[in-house]
């Protein structure tokens, strides 16, 4: 009789453990689904190419913001500006949406364009992640002292740190962010 009691107790413990695991998984899944739902609830108004680009990259931009602290609005605005809404040769042929050049430390695939060497990626999501890592370098560390919601400070800080030589780079990023209200994504981090 004792043997049967032990077996019944063991089955009960396994059942209880699996039930808790299922509940925990469901809760975790609901958190993810809730976050995705919030992202999908943000409606973008604009031309078709802008809506498609933002819809395609908004989730990875928010995910990278949560992982690294780079504001989603900045990432999306830079991607739009640097890749021409994903339509540039560099974006189409090398999946490079940020105009990142090869540099001395780059050992990955490359793409030659107008006499310059650019980083090439297997897909655009990898490029979005690599862009975050690029910005985490010491050269840009002052940016991470800013709030994720301070897109104007980030835009100005990028130019100050030398990301772009165009003196109008910050105003171009800010204009894109405000035109499409991309700063709403920064609230999700």
pLDDT (tens digit per residue) in 53-88: 999 999 999 999 999 999 999 999 999 999 999 999
Q: Residue 22, class by beta-carbon neighbours within 10 Å (0-12 exposed, 13-18 middle, 19+ buried)?
A: exposed
Residue in this structure with the two tokens 């396994």, named with its chain if needed:
14
Show the low-confidence residues of the chain (pLDDT under 70). 1-37
Answer whether 140's CB lies under 8 Å from 154's CB: no
Query: Considering the chain, what percentage of its residues have pLDDT values greater than 70?
Result: 80
Q: What is the pLDDT of residue 14?
A: 37
CATH fold label, 45-188:
Lysozyme (1.10.530)
Q: What is the pLDDT of residue 23?
A: 36
Q: Residue 149, class by beta-carbon neighbours within 10 Å (0-12 exposed, 13-18 middle, 19+ buried)?
A: middle
> What is the rounded distance in angstroms from the CA atom of residue 81 to the CA atom of residue 158?
14
Q: What is the pLDDT of residue 2?
A: 53
Q: What is the pLDDT of residue 116?
A: 95
């Amino acid at each position: 009789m004792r043997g049967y009691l032990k077996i019944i107790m063991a089955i009960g413990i396994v059942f209880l453990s699996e039930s808790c695991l299922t509940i925990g998984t469901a809760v975790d899944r609901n958190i993810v689904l809730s976050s995705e739902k919030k992202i999908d609830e943000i409606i973008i108004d604009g031309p078709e190419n802008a809506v498609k680009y933002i819809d395609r990259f908004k989730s990875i931009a928010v995910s990278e913001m949560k992982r690294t602290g780079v504001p989603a609005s900045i990432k999306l605005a830079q991607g739009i500006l640097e890749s021409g809404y994903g339509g540039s040769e560099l974006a189409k042929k090398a999946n490079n949406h940020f105009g990142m050049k090869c540099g001395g430390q780059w050992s990955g695939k490359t793409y030659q364009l107008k006499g310059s060497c650019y980083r090439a990626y297997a897909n655009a999501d990898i490029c979005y992640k690599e862009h975050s890592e690029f910005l985490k370098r010491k050269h840009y560390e002052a940016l991470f002292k800013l709030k994720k919601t301070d897109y104007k400070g980030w835009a100005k800080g990028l130019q100050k740190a030398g990301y772009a030589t165009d003196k109008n780079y910050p105003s171009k990023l800010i204009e894109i962010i405000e035109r499409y209200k991309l700063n709403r994504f920064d609230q999700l981090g």
